[in-house]
């Protein structure tokens, strides 16, 4: 489990202990990802969803977020929490893109959460030692910073109890990204896009930036 994902799970369990609710863990990957899911269930999560797929390490943050969004949309979650970033690439983009796809307000680099009221009150870490308290509506998505709390670990008794918890498998990954392993190599099959190059600003960087902003706002939206 990624370090920051472990802290996100811990914070979800603490909120559950304070205000109730159910904690559902979602993980994407090959069969070996089940070990991470089982660990999360043993720590205290109630249910799990496993999006089964190989070669997910090659997915872009947008593709990964699209797959996860499709897997969890029907859960109608009050609060979605992800780790701030993965331990390998560290893009810190998947959680933010996931919030946009799900149409949820979001806050990043969260180091403290008050979820007891009708709204969320979160503390964010900023640059140069500054912090920000922010109030936002529910449902929402938060990306959790490492070190927000002390992580618990599964006991032997809890590891036995998690055998009775529900694990749902989803193979929706193949609907968004198809990978074929041919002669030991991996090839990605993507939908063909028509490209068109435009030169903006006529060599004037400031004018080009303005034209680009207009096109992003009005054409690409």
Alpha helical stretches, state H, the chain? 3-19, 34-43, 61-72, 94-102, 156-161, 173-176, 205-215
Residue 30 phi/psi, 5° resolution?
-70, -175
Say if CB 49 and CB 168 are below 8 A apart: yes
Question: Does residue 121 sit in helix, strand or coil?
Answer: strand
Name the residue among 85, 122, 104, 97 with its Cα closest to residue 4: 85
- Chain centroid to CA 74: how far? 16
Q: Which residue, 12, 57, 49, 52, is CA-closest to 30? A: 52
Q: Tell me which H or E stretch contains 124.
A: strand 120-125
Q: Which two tokens stand for residue 8?
A: 């996100």
Residue 122 in this model has a pLDDT that exceeds 50 = yes
pLDDT for residue 166: 67
Summarize pLDDT for 170-195 with one digit per residue, the tens. Answer: 665 544 433 323 333 333 334 444 56
Domain boundaries, the chain: 3-182, 191-220
Per-residue pLDDT at 98 exceeds 60:
yes
pLDDT band at residue 203 using 50, 70 and 90 as cut-offs: confident
Size of the chain in residues: 221
8-state DSSP, 72: H
At the top level of CATH, the class of 3-182 is alpha beta
- For 61-76, the pLDDT digits (tens) are 999 999 999 999 989 9
Give the pLDDT of residue 136: 93
Bridge partners of 125, per DSSP, are 131
Residue 14, pLDDT > 90, answer yes
Q: What is the DSSP secondary structure assignment for residue 145, as one 8-state letter? A: P
């Amino acid at each position: 489990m990624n370090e920051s994902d472990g802290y996100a799970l811990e914070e979800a369990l603490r909120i559950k202990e304070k205000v109730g609710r159910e904690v559902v863990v979602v993980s994407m990957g090959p069969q070996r990802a089940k070990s991470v899911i089982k660990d999360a269930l043993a720590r205290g999560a109630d249910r799990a969803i496993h999006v089964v797929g190989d070669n997910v390490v090659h997915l872009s943050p947008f593709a990964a977020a699209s797959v996860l969004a499709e897997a969890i949309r029907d859960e109608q979650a009050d609060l979605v929490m992800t780790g701030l970033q993965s331990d390998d690439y560290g893009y810190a983009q998947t959680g933010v893109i996931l919030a946009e796809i799900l149409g949820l307000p979001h806050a990043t680099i969260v180091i403290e959460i008050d979820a007891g009221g009708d709204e969320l009150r979160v503390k964010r870490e900023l640059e140069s030692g500054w912090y920000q308290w922010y109030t936002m509506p529910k449902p929402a998505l938060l990306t959790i910073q490492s070190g927000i709390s002390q992580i618990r670990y599964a006991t032997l008794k809890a590891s036995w109890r998690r055998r009775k918890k529900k694990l749902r498998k989803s193979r929706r990954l193949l609907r968004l990204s198809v990978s074929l392993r041919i002669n030991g190599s991996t090839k990605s099959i993507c939908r063909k896009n028509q490209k068109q190059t435009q030169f903006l600003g006529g060599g004037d960087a400031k004018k080009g930036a303005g034209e680009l902003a207009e096109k992003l706002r009005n054409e690409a939206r």
